[in-house]
Amino acid sequence: MQKHYMDFNATAPIRPEVVEAFVRASQTVGNPSSVHGFGRGARRLVEEARRSVAALTGGRSQDVIFTSGGTEANNLALKGSGRPHVLVSAGEHDSVLQAEPAAQTIPLNPDGTLDMAQFECLLSSLPETAANSILVSVMLANNETGVIQNIPEIAATARRYGALVHCDAVQAAGKIPLDIAMLGVDMLSLSAHKIGGPQGIGALVLTPGLELKPLLLGGGQERRRRAGTENVAGCAGFGVAADFAVSHLTDTQRLADWRDEIEIRLTSLSRESKVFGSAAQRLPNTSCISMPGVPAETQLMALDLAGVAVSSGSACSSGKVQPSHVLRAMGASDAEAASALRISLGWSSTLGDVEAFVDAWSALYRRQEGREASLDLATGSIA
């Protein structure tokens, strides 16, 4: 059976050019910290990649810290800033929410955007002595709904209170333009495998002059901001993926057209289905839609048997299917949140993938509507 992969927000298929760069770099001999020719060759690959990642964000190469992924980048930003007063949006990835569990949570509006009035209220409620000891962390684009936050406005508001601003841009990279200066943030998190790069490599990009306390100690790598021998092959692959992300941004229009087509066809069939975040600006590749009365787990299994891969939200919950904290923060009921799927497209998506998903989803809906759907958990088949 042909497989239709529509879960790019979990991880994007690695680009062939990235594989080539990764393999070449993995065969390079030498530690990037060594001063001999072999070491200098490895260092050259790392620094070339650093320049490419910097170009993706409009930042400077010397302000790019390579990490093991977006999770480490987020943890480094929150824990490394050393600021005791932390505010995070209610829709953040768990790597932010769990990095600072005592952080104050900024509510979301029903459309998934940040509640700016409540944000200002939280900032103003902090004691005057909190000035210059505040950290605000708000993601640029939500991984489940695709909703894009007005980060320049959020950053400008935070700065009036002397706050540092961190932005998780993991899902936004390669889908919308990035510019750390225009966003007005101090720190920007990235992950290579969301843009067709290898897994296990990410970056935290800083504004010039910002100093962080490292999480990992034991060496002078990454300008003493992250100890440990650099992942040379991962960096090289990340650099190539970043180059493609910059040069192929215009390709996302076709993804937006396909996303809209999916939503039109599904909501025409199921009037009670809801597209979460549709009233806000969203990523061009992402749709989060419910099938009321049908648990997401049932939908996922049915679609998987039909050869279509989607998800019910973040892929970072050990494979568990549970109501989304993001949707609940937007005011969705537990039942609504538990019946929602995330469809995410990307560089290798085709119209055939879209058709396969719509056909499989529609077939499941019609069976459910006619009360004919039954799930045989023992055999894993849909009757």
What pLDDT digit, counting tens, does each position of 231-270 carry? 999 999 999 999 999 999 999 999 999 999 999 999 999 9
Same domain, 191 and 257: no
Q: Are residues 242 and 262 in the same domain?
A: no
pLDDT tens digits, residue range 87-118? 999 999 999 999 999 999 999 999 999 999 99
Q: Indicate whether 164 and 38 sit together in one domain.
A: yes
pLDDT at residue 133 greater than cutoff 70 = yes
pTM: 0.92
* 282 and 242 inside one domain: no
Catalytic, out of 121, 167, 288, 316: 316
Residue 97 has what pLDDT? 96
> DSSP secondary-structure letter at 317?
S
pLDDT, the chain, mean: 93
pLDDT at 23 over 60: yes
Task: Answer yes or no: do 224 and 305 share one domain.
Answer: no
**CB crowding 305-343: b at 16 or more within 10 Å, else e:** ebebbbbbbbeeeeeebebbbbbbbbebeeebbbbbbbb
> b/e string for 166-184 if b means 16 or more Cβ within 10 A?
bbbbbbbbbbbebebeebb
378 and 259 in a common domain: yes
Last residue of a domain, one of 247, 272, 297: 247
Active site residue 316: yes
Q: What is the mean pLDDT of residues 4-32?
A: 97
Q: How many domains does the chain have?
A: 2
Tens of pLDDT along 347-379?
Answer: 999 999 999 999 999 999 999 877 443 434 333
199 and 328 fall within a common domain: no
Per-residue confidence (pLDDT) for residue 75, from 0 to 100 = 98
Q: Are residues 199 and 319 in the same domain?
A: no
Q: What pLDDT sits at residue 360? A: 97
Q: What is the pLDDT of residues 182-239, one digit of tens each?
A: 999 999 999 999 999 999 999 999 999 999 999 999 999 999 999 999 999 999 999 9
| Domain containing residue 307: CATH number | 3.90.1150.10
**Residue 125: in which H helix or E strand, if any?**
helix 116-125
What pLDDT, on a 0 to 100 scale, did the predictor assign at position 378?
37
CA gap 381, 356 in Å, rounded: 18
- Of 247, 278, 312, the one marking the end of a domain is 247
Instruction: Give residue 129's pLDDT.
Output: 79
Alpha carbons 105 and 351: distance in angstroms, whole number: 39
108 and 243 part of one domain: yes
Asked if 160 and 139 sit in the same domain, the reply is: yes
pLDDT at 132: 85
Q: Which of 215, 247, 279 is the last residue of a domain?
A: 247
Q: pLDDT value at position 130?
A: 80
CA distance 72 to 85: 20
Closest to 199 in 3D by CA, of 69, 35, 312: 69
Which pLDDT belongs to residue 83? 94
Write out the two tokens for 258: 């396909």
**Per-residue pLDDT, 321:** 57
Per the structure, the complete domain to which residue 283 belongs is given by 4-12+250-382
